[in-house]
């Protein structure tokens, strides 16, 4: 028997009992009889000192009763296990469902809060849970965590110390790591964590609100394909190890789906962006004339809105340092205050441009130049609610008539975002900060606009060359007509050609052209070319007046034109000038002409005229316009004027030659 009890003392459990009995000097029997009563799951063992044959049936009955009891125990245990499994599955399903609903990785913070809640509902007391996701940064990972009371904003964990240890264990293929931090090491551990950016700030905020750090803890790190989930408990939780693994596995499945959806959404978004960019490219390629840039800018504005970048207005900033000016060109939807723009049904779009003097010392312009010249792609300029009124005042001329751009409609402030390019910038004014993706879209649009504007400049250059060729051809026709003159009387044919060529140039808003000629002795001859008529044997000019300047009032606009010494200038004629001019025509026996002009002024409600004047060798060439002249007018008048000077010189020479021939004939008679 001694050997038997020696053997029993080596076994776990009962061995401890045997050793304690021996330590207490318990006297073990020298003889024992074992009675084994078997049942389905095992047996009952009864130990006696003597044989008890009469008890054998009793032992059997005990075994039978115990079998019934143990069967119930197993049923209860199975039911409890099933209930626990259902509870675990429900918790996993809630985390799975929450993660399946994710649309962006930032939602992992809320998911970590859900994870803490579900783990605690399973009776596992945790202090903190977090998702640590590996990304493209080799120096660390992104982590979203929660202590069960709130979420931590996303922060980055460095690839060092404890975080490096977890990363390397995960890379080795481990599924679960248990790491204990005792009371001696825990303070230093949290001192280190509080020194890290992001997570440290959050831990210090927790501490400031009265939440104490653990004095010791156990980290349960469950790894999955994309990182790990960390569960921090105060006490060992071996029964939870498998649960932690299952949470990691479930999250891996849903996170894989999330990444697949994210990839699909990114591809769909990229396709959407490319379609929008292609529309801008198509519109750029459709430009046949430089004046179609306006339509192209509208397409850029519209496509940004279709991509969800709801700018209040988009704008161009195009500085021209050679001219010391800068052009601002704005586009917006009208009547779209405080609501999402509805692009269906051809929205009412407004485009306007204004040229300002360029002052590079002005603070906002100086800031633009600094950002532009630094190579910065996108520059965000926040406007506080207090500064919105001044901001719109700066744009007052450009946005005049747009009622929605008032400070009271933007009480939260605005942002204007410049996206720089070769020629300046393409930008937007918007109510909210742009995301990095939206900044990238704006940058891509700006690159497309740079291409569009390059095409615009090429078209503008080609148009300028074509226009120059057209002007030169018109001038050559006038010159050719002048050189073909054989008689002084043919001067009107040259004037007729000049009139036709000027009108053929399609100068905007031209209503008349006049030539003033110096006749000598303070007399000026005035040819109004619009009255020139072609007849069978040549031309006649009904409006042909010769007048003496000294005899006319100084306020007569024709006198102002004649006496201005400038080579090229602009003379204005107002309503008072019209009245005096009509009166002057009647005084010079041109009543019918005066009546026609008076009738025209009444019918058109004409208020003023712009007279563009070019000095000639022997007079002035005048073009009458309804609006201010274009930049090309000086060049046109200079060239046409030179051609007329040639014609008039030849006219004088032919006239002199005719006079000499007349004298010679008289002598011969």
Q: Residue written as tokens 């004409």?
A: 606
Exposure pattern of 299-322 as b/e (b: 16+ CB <10 Å)? bbbbbbbebebbbbbbbbbbbeee
Residue 22, Cβ density class (10 Å: 0-12 exposed, 13-18 middle, ≥19 buried): middle
Tokens 């009255």 belong to residue? 531
* pLDDT confidence of residue 225: 93
CB 593 within 8 A of CB 543: yes
Q: Do 66 and 55 touch, CB atoms closer than 8 A? A: no
Report residue 601: phi and psi, to 5°.
-65, -40
* DSSP run (H or E) holding 158: strand 155-158
Helix (H, G, I), strand (E, B) or coil at 516: strand
Dihedral in degrees, nearest 10, Cα atoms 93, 98, 103, 108: -110
Residues 326 and 155: their CA atoms lie apart, in Å, by 44
Instruction: Read off φ and ψ for residue 32, nearest 5 degrees.
Output: -145, 150
The pLDDT score that the predictor gives to residue 234 is 92
pLDDT in the model for residue 226 = 92
pLDDT the model gives residue 343? 47
State the pLDDT at residue 373.
87
What does the pLDDT read at residue 634? 93
Which DSSP string do the residues of 72-83 spell out, in sequence order? HHHHHHHHHHHH
The vertex-447 CA angle with 444 and 448, nearest 5°, equals 90
pLDDT at residue 335, rounded to an integer: 64
> Tokens at residue 582, please?
């009509």
The pTM is what?
0.63
Phi, psi of 478 (to 5 degrees): -65, -45
Distance CA 578, CA 626 (A): 14
Cβ atoms of 416 and 428 closer than 8 Å: yes
The residues, any chain, with a CB within 8 Å of residue 59's CB and separated by 6 or more, are 35, 37, 44, 46
CB 176 within 8 A of CB 166: no
Q: What is the mean pLDDT of each run of 10 residues along the chain (669 residues)?
A: 85 88 87 90 89 91 92 86 82 78 72 78 85 87 81 86 94 95 94 90 87 92 94 92 89 84 88 93 80 85 92 91 91 64 59 90 87 89 92 87 88 93 92 93 92 87 91 92 82 87 90 90 86 77 80 76 93 91 86 89 92 94 93 92 89 83 74
Query: Please, what's the b/e burial string for 329-357 (b: 16 or more CB within 10 A of its CB; e: otherwise)?
Result: bbbbbeebeeeeeeeeeeeebbbbbeeee
Name the DSSP class of 213.
P
Cα–Cα distance, 428 to 311 (Å, whole number): 6
Q: Where are the beta strands (DSSP E) in 492-645?
A: 510-520, 523-528, 533-535, 538-540, 544-548, 568-573, 609-616, 619-625
- Angstrom CA distances, 552 to 519, 560, 587, stand at 16, 11, 11
The structure tokens listed for 26 are: 């318990």
Predicted pLDDT at 155: 87
Q: Is the separation of the CB atoms in 442 and 378 below 8 Å?
A: yes
Give the dihedral sign, CA 323/325/326/328.
Answer: negative
Both tokens assigned to 323: 């001219």
- Residue 32 gets the label, from left (phi > 0), alpha (psi -120 to 50) or beta, of beta
> What's the pLDDT score for residue 573?
92
CA distances to 14, 15, 29, 32, 396 from 7, rounded to whole Å, are: 10, 8, 15, 15, 102
């Amino acid at each position: 028997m001694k050997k038997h009890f020696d053997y029993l003392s080596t076994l776990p459990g009962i061995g401890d009992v045997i050793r304690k009995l021996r330590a207490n000097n318990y006297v073990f029997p020298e003889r024992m009889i074992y009675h084994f009563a078997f049942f389905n799951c095992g047996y009952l063992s009864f130990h006696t000192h003597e044989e008890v044959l009469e008890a054998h049936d009793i032992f059997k009955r005990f075994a039978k009763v115990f079998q019934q009891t143990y069967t119930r125990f197993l049923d209860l245990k199975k039911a409890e296990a099933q209930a626990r499994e259902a509870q675990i599955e429900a918790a996993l399903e809630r985390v799975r469902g929450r993660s399946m609903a994710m649309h962006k990785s930032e939602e992992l913070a809320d998911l970590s809060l859900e994870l803490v809640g579900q783990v605690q509902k399973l009776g596992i007391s945790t202090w903190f849970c977090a998702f640590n996701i590996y990304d493209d940064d080799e120096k660390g990972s992104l982590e979203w965590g929660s202590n069960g009371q709130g979420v931590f904003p996303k922060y980055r964990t460095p690839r060092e110390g404890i975080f490096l240890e977890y990363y390397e264990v995960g890379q080795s293929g481990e599924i679960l790591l248990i790491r204990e931090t005792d009371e001696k090491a825990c303070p230093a551990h949290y001192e280190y964590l509080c020194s890290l950016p992001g997570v440290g700030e959050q831990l210090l905020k927790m501490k400031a609100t009265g939440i104490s750090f653990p004095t010791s803890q156990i980290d349960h790190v469950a790894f999955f394909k994309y990182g790990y989930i960390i569960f921090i408990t105060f006490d060992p939780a071996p029964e939870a190890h498998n649960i932690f693994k299952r949470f990691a596995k479930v999250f891996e499945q849903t996170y894989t789906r999330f990444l697949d959806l994210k990839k699909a959404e990114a591809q769909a978004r990229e396709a959407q962006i490319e379609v929008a960019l292609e529309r801008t490219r198509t519109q750029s390629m459709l430009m046949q004339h430089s004046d179609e840039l306006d339509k192209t800018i509208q397409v850029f504005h519209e496509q940004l809105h279709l991509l969800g970048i709801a700018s209040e207005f988009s704008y161009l900033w195009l500085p021209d340092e050679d001219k010391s000016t800068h052009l601002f060109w704005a586009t917006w939807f009208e009547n779209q205050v405080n609501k999402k723009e509805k692009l269906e049904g051809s929205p009412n779009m407004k485009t306007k441009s204004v040229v300002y003097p360029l002052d590079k010392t002005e603070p906002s312009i100086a800031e633009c130049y600094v950002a532009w010249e630094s190579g910065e792609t996108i520059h965000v300029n926040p406007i506080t609610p207090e500064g919105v009124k001044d901001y719109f005042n700066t744009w007052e001329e450009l946005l005049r008539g747009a009622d929605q751009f008032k400070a009271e409609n933007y009480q939260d402030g605005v942002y204007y975002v410049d996206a720089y390019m070769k020629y300046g910038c393409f930008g937007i004014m918007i109510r909210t900060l742009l995301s990095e993706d939206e900044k990238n879209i704006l940058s891509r649009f700006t690159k497309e606009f740079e291409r569009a504007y390059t095409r615009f400049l090429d078209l503008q250059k080609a148009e300028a060359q074509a226009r120059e060729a057209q002007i030169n051809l018109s001038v050559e026709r006038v010159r050719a007509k002048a050189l073909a003159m054989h008689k002084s009387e043919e001067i009107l044919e040259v004037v007729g050609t000049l009139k036709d060529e000027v009108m053929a140039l399609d100068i905007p808003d031209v209503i008349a052209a006049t030539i003033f000629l110096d006749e000598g002795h303070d007399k000026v001859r005035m040819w109004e070319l619009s009255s020139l008529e072609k007849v069978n044997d040549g031309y006649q000019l009904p409006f042909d007046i010769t007048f003496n300047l000294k005899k006319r009032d100084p306020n007569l606009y024709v006198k102002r034109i004649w006496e201005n010494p400038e080579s090229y200038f602009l003379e204005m004629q107002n309503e008072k000038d019209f009245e005096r001019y009509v009166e002057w025509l009647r005084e010079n026996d041109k009543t019918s002409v005066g009546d026609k002009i008076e009738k025209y002024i009444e019918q058109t409600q004409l208020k003023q005229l712009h007279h563009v004047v070019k000095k000639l060798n022997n007079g002035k060439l005048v073009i009458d316009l309804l609006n201010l002249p274009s930049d090309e007018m000086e060049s046109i008048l200079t060239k046409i004027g030179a051609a007329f000077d040639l014609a008039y010189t030849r006219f004088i020479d032919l006239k002199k030659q005719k006079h000499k021939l007349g004298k010679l004939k008289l002598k011969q008679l």
